[in-house]
Structure 1
Amino acid sequence: MRETRFNLASRLIHWAIAFVFLYILLTVLLRLGWMNKGHMGDIIQENLAKDGINLDKDAAGTLAKKVRRPMWETHTIAGYVLVGLYVIRMIINFVQGFGFESPLKAGLSGYKKFKSWVYVLFYICLAGSLVTGLIIEFGPDSIHDVSEEIHKLSLYYMIAFIAVHLVGVVIADGTKERGIISKIISGDRPL
């Protein structure tokens, strides 16, 4: 079995993508939860009503969207950063080789085939998220709505990938690829 080593460039890109990816996921979850325009609109309405100010639900929702706008702008900025990181990651992959074998390669174990397919699907889904995000911002109005619907589906692959990746790394570190966690942090096996 080939010894897996992660050079500094690969580790930095890995962690930069991970943190930006998690930040984007956080903004989505906040928007769907605590910072949902309906929920925030209700809070605004209730608090203004205490001061004798009546605001209808639509106006409160509009105000709520304005309150969360700065957070959503950081989602967009993080998306641009992720586009850059993705391009750098692809360049590194093409120069140094991908960190996984082709899932179509004959003779791969079930474990390696599964691992390879997870990464292939991740890179395809991430590319889809990035492209649809760019279309939402810069694309023609004719495909804006469909791009936005596809982009919203990113939430599901993001959560699934994080779960599968973390479980897979922990299992691999305890079995087939001992020290993989230490190597992605420091570049070497633990002492």
Structure 2
Amino acid sequence: MNTTLLHRLWHWLTALTVLGLVGTFFLRKTFLSWRTNSRVIEEGLTAEGVEITAGLAKTLAKTIRAPMWEWHYYLGFALVVLLAFRLLLFLFFDDRQVVRSSLFGSQFRTLRSNATKHSAELAAGIHRARVYTLYLVVFGVLFFMSASGVLLCFDDSLGLSRELVESTKEAHEWVAWLASLFIPLHIVGVVFAELRVEPGIVSKMIGGSKE
């Protein structure tokens, strides 16, 4: 795994960006949900003797959350830039090793053919292949999140049909839940690797390799 300064900067900036995206997504679905807050507004004003329509309460609830949701757009565009930068790292550094050493790569197939069964070399190769395969899955998820987010942001300009927008939005939200699940799994995996499989991995991602 590359732990150059550029790779580490990309890793931590992407981590902060994804945390921000997931955080704003959770706020939209929970505390700042227009469905919940429109009822609160409607019931609160009605209790004070002020009549308000459900439509106006919905508009007010969406207006309240709008500043927060603007940050989701900013972070989304930041993720697009970070992924483009990661693609450059892939092209100009030897990051193709990630693909070759994954479960689908040529190096892993060669290792399985040549390594002694139950050997330490094979065990390490299998672990590395699983980790690299997970990297590829995560990159795929992030690319889909970015692409679908851009489509949703510019749906009017692109002239997308209402059906396509709705299906894209649904897929975007499902992938967002998947990204939310990945965060705690990633933390658990890093702790496991630090303690059992690859001691020093955390310090490498912070200060770089000392080799």
TM-score, normalization: structure 2?
A: 0.81
Q: SS state of the match for residue 103, structure 1?
A: coil
With 175-184 and 17-26 compared, the bigger mean Cα shift is at 175-184
> In 2, Cα distance between the equivalents of 1:84 and 1:21?
13
2:30 is equivalent to residue 9 of structure 1: no
Identify unmatched segments of 5+ residues in structure 2. Answer: 113-121
Q: SS state of the match for residue 50, structure 2?
A: coil
> In 2, Cα distance between the equivalents of 1:188 and 1:57?
58
**Alignment partner, residue 69 of structure 1:** 66
Contact 2:34 2:61 in 1 (8 A): yes
With 112-121 and 28-37 compared, the bigger mean Cα shift is at 112-121
Q: Between Structure 1 and Structure 2, how many residues are aligned? A: 186
**Alignment partner, residue 141 of structure 1:** 160
**Alignment partner, residue 193 of structure 2:** 172
After TM superposition, give the deviation of residue 166 of structure 1 in Å.
1.1
**Alignment partner, residue 111 of structure 1:** 127
Contact 1:11 1:185 in 2 (8 A): yes
Q: SS state of the match for residue 153, structure 1?
A: helix
Matches within 5 A, 1:22-61: 22-61=19-58
> In 2, Cα distance between the equivalents of 1:188 and 1:49?
63
Identify unmatched segments of 5+ residues in structure 1. Answer: none
Contact 1:5 1:183 in 2 (8 A): no
Q: Give the RMSD, CA atoms, in angstroms.
A: 1.8
After TM superposition, give the deviation of residue 112 of structure 1 in Å.
2.1
Q: SS state of the match for residue 53, structure 1?
A: coil
With 144-153 and 49-58 compared, the bigger mean Cα shift is at 49-58
Q: Percent identity?
A: 29
TM-score, normalization: structure 1?
A: 0.89
Structure of larger gyration radius: 2
Contact 2:102 2:131 in 1 (8 A): no
User: Aligned pair in 2 of structure 1 residues 76, 5: CA closer, same or farther (>3 Å)?
Assistant: closer
